[in-house]
Chain A
Amino acid sequence: MQQADRQPKQELVNISRLIDENSLKEKLILLFTKWEVLLGILLVFEFILFSNLSPYFLDYFNLMNSTFNFMEKAIMALPMIYIIMSGDIDISIASIIALSSFAMGYAASMGMDVAGIILIGLAAGTLAGMFNGFFVTILKMPAIAVTLATQSLFRGVSQAVLGDQAYTEYPKSMAFLGQGYVGDTLIPFELVIFLFLAAVMGFILHKTRYGRKLYAIGSSREAARFAGINVSRIRFINFTLMGLFCGIAAVLLTSRIGSTRPNIALGWDMEVITLVVLGGVSISGGKGNLFGVIMAIFLLGYLKFGMGLINLSAKVMVITTGLLLVIAVLLPGFLDGVKARRKLKSQQMASTL
């Protein structure tokens, strides 16, 4: 108080005006430290950069067609939002793809029709997800530990049976799912499926009680339980959904590349988690939204496409993805720190005035 008295009054008024929460500058700062807005700016920069570096980047056909390469991961990112939102993690998802694709290959080799193969693929994924969910919620084991074990277990099934062999015989009509376009347009069927699933999952997350419960569980599992939310059931459903969506992704991927090997989708766990975390979903739970994740999906997808166009090797992309994952977690903490400091400053000012 004494110090404040000594300062000229005019200066104090100036400072307090500077941190007025309703001023334009303050609003702008708030807007531009918003995660989705930052991602949007980055996406625009990315487009400007790559269209300058390569004449083939800004091309309707290329931009549509390159989505084939990341739509399966995008689909897997949707339930991963739920899982990370409620404070869990699943690092077995790439192995669920391997298991599900293996099941489809087996079904195809037994002479099943397309509908049967797809059904088997979806069922295998869902069962694998339920398996994870059982250990995490009913036996109450940590999600990271369970999914680390099932990571080898699920892929191990495929590897034990297939060895160095592969399933390559799939019905011709299955190819449409992963390779087809909608009607006569250049819009990939996979992109449409993703947009549809994203709309459904977004609606559940933002407009239903289930979604609100997810936020509640993520903020505090204990508090959510005391508020009467059946936490175990919701976490179990999350893992089951994750399995189902891995099954969908496995159907699309198998149809797109037309073969099943034990090393299918290797390393995708990291990429999908990166998408979700980069999209602004807090790894400690309770924060984030669908929009941010969709931005992250296209940001990363087109980043890889652009880097491929200018002949950067796959390994540079792996490094970039890893760096983005770490930075995406580091940055929000840093931004929160800045915001908190500004708020503290304004409160101090208010109390001195």
Chain B
Amino acid sequence: MIRLQSLRKITQRRDTSLIILIVLLLAVVTMRAPGFVSADNIQRIVNDTSILVMVSLGQFFVILAGGIDLSVGSVIGLSGMAAAMTNQYYPGIPAVVVLLIGVGVGLVLGLINGVVVAYGKVPAIITTLGTLSIYRGLTFVLSKGQWVTAHEMTDSYMRLPHGNLFGISNLIWWGVLVSVLMFYFSGYTRRGREIYAIGGNKVAAKFVGVSEQKIYMIIFTLSGMLGGLAGVLWTSRYAAAVNETASGFELQTVAACVIGGVSIAGGSGAVPGVILGALFLGIINNALPVINLSPFYQLFIQGAIVLGAMLINTVSERRREQELLKGRQR
């Protein structure tokens, strides 16, 4: 009986059910296209999804604290454009410095969100809905509507995501690095635990001395920095900085979190779930052309998946609450 219960607990965890779901999904797609599950293709999918993983982890902390960051797509666009243009006009600057500039731009943009939310007391949704347009508009102003294309970028800049280490692309290593850091941050640092506390119960967290304002500053700055990093890697990976880079990307990051079992109300969720959620989305996006569905279906499928995942989250949360209540009655 005890063993059965612990087995049930394992299958009820979001990570495990997601892994099962991913395996099932891969199996179904493989039936239609046998080459889909090859080492090569798997690496391609992970490579495609690395940027989504990074930005989703930034989004994760914001949602965890009870907010939402709708400006990530525009942050990626603006910081990517800034980095690419730096590279274009000053090819002498080492690529690593350009990378830092991109991250720096993202940091500032995130900081602005953080200040308005923490000190201006403007709800996160409104703030980032506003900065979503402001940052996107600034991208156009900065670039004057022009693109930066492959022949205007230096080789070392384009090598940032394309290089190899132990046969695995740099982009994947970047994703792994960010994932490990964020996993450590969320579970093993004081600030990480404080974010859970704020999202779980704001009032209680304040009473034990957690500064709400400091946490808001941290999460939005973090989300901005990861957006900045993603912006640099995005423009260098596709060897083009266009004005619409990553527009609408915010939905995918929220989707990855929701699929990964992060409660949109804040306070619950974990890094591994978010990573698996992002991978799940990545596999679906890669599988669409393989199973002969036009990419125009992507938007609809994404919306349906997010709605479905949120429904599952809500139902399971409610069941957990009921079980807690039952336990108390006993």
Contacts and interface: CB of A to CB of B under 8 A. Distances in A.
Given A156-B300, A160-B297, A322 B125 contact: no
B133 A152 contact: no
Contacts of A321: 133
A326 interface: yes
Interface residues of B, number: 40
A313 B121 CA distance: 31
A148 B306 contact: yes
Interface string B108-145: 00000000100011110111011111101110110000
A41 B73 CA distance: 36
Interface string A132-147: 0001000111101110
Contact of A150 (B133, B138, B307): B307
Contact of A160 (B141, B265, B299): B299
Nearest to B309: A149
A153 B134 contact: no
A159 B299 contact: yes
Nearest to B252: A152
B250 to A, nearest CB: 9
Nearest to B68: A144
Contact of B258 (A145, A273, A284, A316): A145
Interface residues of A, number: 47
A325 interface: yes
A142 B264 contact: yes
A155 B299 contact: yes
Interface string A305-347: 0000000010110110111011001100100000000000000
A91 to B, nearest CB: 7
Interface string A243-271: 00000000000000000001000010110
B188 interface: no
Contacts of A145: 258, 264, 310
17 contacts: A139-B311, A145-B310, A149-B307, A149-B310, A152-B251, A152-B300, A153-B307, A156-B303, A159-B299, A164-B296, A274-B130, A315-B137, A318-B133, A319-B138, A322-B129, A323-B134, A325-B133
Interface of B: 68, 116, 120-123, 125-127, 129-134, 136-138, 140-141, 251, 254, 258, 264-265, 294, 296-304, 306-307, 310-311, 314
The 3 A-B residue pairs whose C-beta atoms are closest, nearest first, are A156-B300, A153-B303, A152-B303
